[in-house]
Amino acid sequence: MQNVYVVLLSTAINGALALWVYNDSRLQDRSRFWALGTFFLPQAFFPIYFWNRIPELIWTCPKCQRDNRAWSRKCGRCDQFYTAEETVARLHGYLKPSDPVVIFLITFLFQEIARYIAILMGEGLEVLTKADAVYTLPTSHFWSIKLIVGNVLIWLSLFCITGRYRRTVRSIGLGYSGSPADFGLPLFLAPALAFAAVGFMQGIDWFSQHSPLEGLGNLVQWEQQQWSSSIPENFGDSTVILFGFVMLILMPVGEEILFRGIAYTGFASRFGQAKGTVLSALLFAALHGYIRSFMPSVLGGIPIFLMGVTLVWLYIRTKSLIPCIITHSLVNLILILIYWM
């Protein structure tokens, strides 16, 4: 049942990405071949399609704050003239909705390559045909892959911001100049989000036991198995330092930059604040399972979606990713402690 679900979900995602590329290719008068390639190999065709073009850069007039095209030397509003060097120094671009998806797909490609290398080195070629190959990896291999994934995720995100669009990291909230009182919010939000997630999954499990929906309970157990199979058994495990670094530092930093700093900013600039919040939270929920445990998660995605909405609210309120990173890290810490208890 789980394998059918994974195939159907993957097909739906590939189809949505292909449709996205198809609609954009019509507007840009580009070959429809990109849409076909995206459906069968999205990790390659979707990123190449959107990132093989130099983004349109603009410069902002320091006098009237009007955005002007890169080739213009005179501001279209106040008629102030600037030299080529002055306009080049001010060139920047705006994040687009496709950017977080491109970053995820490239990261996921690195993850799959690292996973298959680890399997080949640890178990041999025959393990690649097993349906549960993801669970055959030792925890040390598993979290070594996550170390690679986290670094690739952060590097691609920073390249997108500073290299592709020539923006500063402070422009997406990697800095803080607000009230110190805002740092008390993570201490309240993190326990609420963690216990809400645990309570939700336990509620679904209880409901499945007292209703005819036996398959729902099986799905809950399957999703919980994904989480428990990758966690070190106790605090004295040799991989606990690597596990803690990835879960408490690397992934919270990378995911907050991607899903709040890039995804929300890109969606909000295109669709508005409300739709940007929902879309970035949906993306956070939809892709979170792939980044963490190689597999998608339906039921577990619901509390993650709510967490995504809450973190966007915190991002808007504080205008910084720092409280979001702290909250994300504390949620992970609480969930780990609950599992070990």
Instruction: Give the DSSP per-residue string, 140-154.
Output: HHHHHHHHHHHHHHH
Distance CA 257, CA 293 (A): 20
Distance CA 156, CA 168 (A): 14
294 pLDDT band, cuts 50/70/90, is: very low
Distance CA 49, CA 52 (A): 6
The CA-based diameter of the chain, rounded to the nearest angstrom, is 73
- CB burial of 192-209 (b: ≥16 within 10 Å; e: otherwise) equals ebbeebeeebeebbeebe
What's the confidence (pLDDT) of residue 129? Answer: 44
Specify whether the CB–CB gap between 314 and 184 falls below 8 A.
no
How large is the average pLDDT for residues 189-212? 77
Examine the pLDDT at 2 and tell me if it is beyond 70.
no
Distance CA 89, CA 325 (A): 31
Range with the lowest mean pLDDT among 47-51, 179-183, 303-307? 179-183
Q: What are the φ and ψ backbone dihedral angles of 128, each rounded to 5 degrees?
A: -65, -20
Of 104, 73, 77, the closest CA to residue 89 belongs to 73
What's the confidence (pLDDT) of residue 112? Answer: 84
Task: Give me 263's structure tokens.
Answer: 């995804």
Mean pLDDT over each residue of the chain, to the nearest integer:
83
Question: Crossing angle, helix 273-293 and helix 98-122, to 10 degrees?
Answer: 10
Distance CA 77, CA 96 (A): 25
Q: What is the identity of the amino acid at 16?
A: A
Examine the pLDDT at 136 and tell me if it is beyond 80.
no
Of 166, 157, 163, the closest CA to residue 262 belongs to 157
Examine the pLDDT at 219 and tell me if it is beyond 50.
yes
Residue with tokens 């003239």, as numbered in its chain = 81
Number of CB atoms found within 10 A of residue 44's CB: 14
What's the confidence (pLDDT) of residue 7? Answer: 73
Task: Give me 310's structure tokens.
Answer: 């809450």
SS3 of residue 68 by DSSP? strand
Distance CA 289, CA 5 (A): 14
Of 226, 159, 162, 189, the closest CA to residue 327 belongs to 189
